[in-house]
Amino acid sequence: MATGLPQPSQAPASDSSSSGPSQTPAKIRERLTVYQIMVRDKPYDAEEQINLLVKNMVLKPRGSPGMSKAEQDELAKLVDSLRNKDEGTASGILVNQLFPQPYSVGGGPKHLERIHITLFVDECLRRIMKTDDRAAQHARSAVGPLTNPKPDFTFGVAETIFETGHRLTSNSYSNLAGIQKGTLYPFFFVEWKSGATGGTQHSAQSQAARAGAALVHSILQLYAEALLGSASAPKLFNAAYSASFSATIDSDYLVLWVHWLDRSEGVAPGTYQMSVIEKYWLNDGENLWRLRKALKNIFEWGLEERVRNIKELLTDLGTKIQAAPLPASSSEISKSAKSSKSSKRQKT
């Protein structure tokens, strides 16, 4: 299938996702590169479909959410008061101030789920680590496996957003649809660091690169399953369908990122890119207002347009499942075996 999609694959038998002994930040970044996971390697506007997604969706103008000057200053003051707090304290207070709240917490978007510090499923990175290329196998063996992602916060959709048929299909691909327990089809996550306890943007970005690649790959795998053997697959797919977004935060500023699979070189499996959209100073009211608008756009996309695309994908997957021949029951197999033996006796 010439779709530019990674083909459906089985995870290797190994059940270890640890990275072994701790390494320097530079070595961790080198390891990511060996697995074709890149940080700030390519700007988002180098990929037409991703550029359109960012410019027309993330950065589109909007009149809301409105923030008065007093509200901007108040939030900036709150952020500044937490500069010397540890990561858990700062993130616990600011997560509801900076990001949309799920319905269960603050009456936010009804189908929005938020997960806190939960590991992704083991298989998510093993699929990326799997390769048939001998040189790549050797290089990856030399640097060791990737650590399983565990973002500080992950945002996805609740199963209530889907009708029964789509829910059943999602259950059939649960290790892809539910890459993180507690939500479906995550589209945004946060890696939070506190300078007061030695956390850095560099470390947060390396962690985000792994999680972003895993989210992108899980959606690509679903497309590969749905479109396998379809002559119309090249027309149906574009890189923006599998994109995800993230924020890396330290005591001073937040960086907004887009993640996608880059196949521009035409060589499988491509590279998992993580590109800066914008940087926002957290002690500046105007920056916080611009950030809120961008986040509002991303969350609307994640709960509306992206869900529509996923529903279409689930419809295709459901049709494929229904068309698949059912396995023969044990009684049918027994009858077939007896019939075959009887036929052979008659011939002799």
Query: pLDDT truncated to tens, each residue of the chain (348 aa)?
Result: 334 444 444 333 333 333 444 578 888 899 999 999 999 989 999 999 999 999 999 999 987 766 788 888 899 999 999 989 999 999 999 999 999 888 777 666 789 999 999 999 877 877 778 888 888 889 988 888 888 899 999 999 999 999 999 999 999 888 888 888 889 999 999 999 998 888 999 999 999 999 999 999 999 888 888 876 554 444 455 789 899 999 999 989 999 999 999 987 665 678 999 999 999 999 898 899 999 999 999 999 999 999 999 998 899 888 888 876 655 544 444 454 455 545 545 544
Is residue 96 packed enough to be buried (19+ CB in 10 Å), middle (13-18) or exposed (0-12)? middle
Beta carbons within 8 Å of 60's beta carbon, 6+ residues apart? 297
CB 260 within 8 A of CB 273: yes
Distances (CA, A) of 214 to 184, 221, 249, 288, 338: 14, 10, 20, 29, 49
Q: Which amino acid is at 122?
A: D
Handedness of CA 213, 218, 223, 225 (dihedral sign): positive
pLDDT at 230: 53
CB 100 within 8 A of CB 295: yes
Q: How far is 227 from 70, CA to CA, in rounded Å? A: 52
Q: Which amino acid is at 269?
A: P
pTM: 0.84
Is residue 130 packed enough to be buried (19+ CB in 10 Å), middle (13-18) or exposed (0-12)? middle
pLDDT at 346: 52
pLDDT at 1: 35
Place of tokens 């196998």: 137
Q: How far is 226 from 64, CA to CA, in rounded Å? A: 37
∠ CA 260-265-137, rounded to 5°: 80
From the list 264, 258, 263, the residue with the least C-alpha distance to 277 is 258
Does residue 88 sit in helix, strand or coil?
A: helix
Q: Could you tell me how far CA 340 lies from the centroid of its own chain?
A: 51
pLDDT at 335: 53
pLDDT at 16: 31
